Amino acid sequence: MRILKLQKKDLFPFLEVISKAAELWAPVAKGDKFVFDQLQDFSRIAMTAVRTIIPPKKIMVPASFNMFNFTEKEYQEDFSHITDRILFGIHPCDIHGLLTLDKLFAQAFPDPYYLEARKKTAILGLSCFPDEHCFCKSTHTDIIEEGYDLFFTDLESQFLVWIGSSRGDDLIRLAPDFFDEKLTEKDITTYINWQEERDNAFQTEISFTRLPDLMELNDKAPFWEEAGAACFACGSCSMVCPTCNCYNVIDKRYLGKRPGQRLRYWDSCTLPEYSEVAGGENFREHKSQRLRLWYTHKLQAYVSKYGKPSCIGCGRCLVTCPAQIHVKSVADALEGHPVEAFWKKFAKEVSK
């Protein structure tokens, strides 16, 4: 792998050069949080953003998009929402999130909408420093070895830039003068020290190895009912999860000559009608059943199918769920540890 140096002052000029032929998306501030947004003014880029509200899956599969236009006679596929993009500032955990989605969307019958957007998006990763909710070290997604075109490690006055693909190499060649191939002894020491400091900064830890067995053994544990009672069934956990892929499809018709549309939009297995079939049979009527599906799928099913959980440790569910039902509190409950969460502390009040 080739590693180059880039002076901090040269980052924006480099982005300027490469974004001539593509939209540039990066994290920007929104209130006290961050979102991935398209931008022209590079000074808006939030270089130290820890996590965005919505993960970068929204760039590959928008929250809602049109799959087909239809007339009285036919369906015509619509890929107009997919454009050439450069996604800058994506952290290792979120790159792992995309690699996880790749497995699902590319298997059996590949999803052309996802794969097309994926192909059209250059991934420019950026190093990060964990806050109290990050647990990517526990999911082994704190470092990244594949899935990026370029990866920028932020070291004091300069970046170390990893080239991860042929496309990444092409991007460097658009402005080779910004980069320096000679790494000094000091550069390497700085990098090692940074690595170590980051590695020691994690405050949240979850032991994922045990969770598949504990899910099975705790299948009828009372905490599922408690969490179910507290759950708002709002679906926020799925919206913010980098690996939640579920979607719904509806057909829309318009007045006049405008063609109809077949729209695809994000769905969540915690919503009441998720498993309901025509005629009214609902295979998961209770919130506890739907919550259990969410967690079974991420912490157990993915392990049996792909060898690792689909959780990438970004901490979004920890900061989002209004009832504090999230991977950490559920893992604590599964392990029989005291649960520091609203749904546990007020279980009796909630179920009244």
Which parts of this chain interact with other proteins (CB under 8 A)? 21-23, 67-68, 70, 72-75, 77, 79-80, 82-84, 104-105, 107-112, 115-116, 119, 219, 245-251, 253, 260, 262, 267, 269, 274-279, 281, 283-284, 289, 293, 296-297, 300-302, 304-305
Nearer to other proteins, 75 or 342 (CB): 75
Contact 313, 330 (CB under 8 A): no
How far, in Å, CA of 159 to CA of 162, rounded?
9
Q: How far is the CB of 336 from other proteins (least distance, A)?
A: 21
* Degrees to nearest 5, angle at CA 164 with 18 and 54: 70
Nearer to other proteins (CB atom), residue 22 or residue 143: 22
Considering the complex, state which of residue 279 and residue 338 has its C-beta at the smaller distance from other proteins. 279
Q: Which residues pair with 150 in a beta bridge?
A: 124, 163
CB of 307 to other proteins, least distance (A): 12
CB nearer other proteins, residue 111 or residue 332: 111
CB of 303 to other proteins, least distance (A): 8
Least separation in angstroms between residue 80's CB and other proteins is: 5
Residue among 79 and 342 whose Cβ is closer to other proteins: 79
Q: How far is the CB of 199 from other proteins (least distance, A)?
A: 32
CB atoms within 10 A of CB 10: 17
Round to the nearest angstrom and report the end-to-end CA distance of the chain: 59
Query: Smallest gap, in angstroms, from Cβ of residue 219 to other proteins?
Result: 7
Which residue, 46 or 115, has its beta carbon nearer to other proteins?
Answer: 115
Task: Indicate the residue among 12 and 283 with the shorter CB distance to other proteins.
Answer: 283
Q: CB of 105: closest distance to other proteins in angstroms?
A: 6
Which is closer to other proteins, CB of 58 or CB of 198? 58
> To the nearest whole angstrom, how small is the minimum distance from the Cβ of residue 29 to other proteins?
25
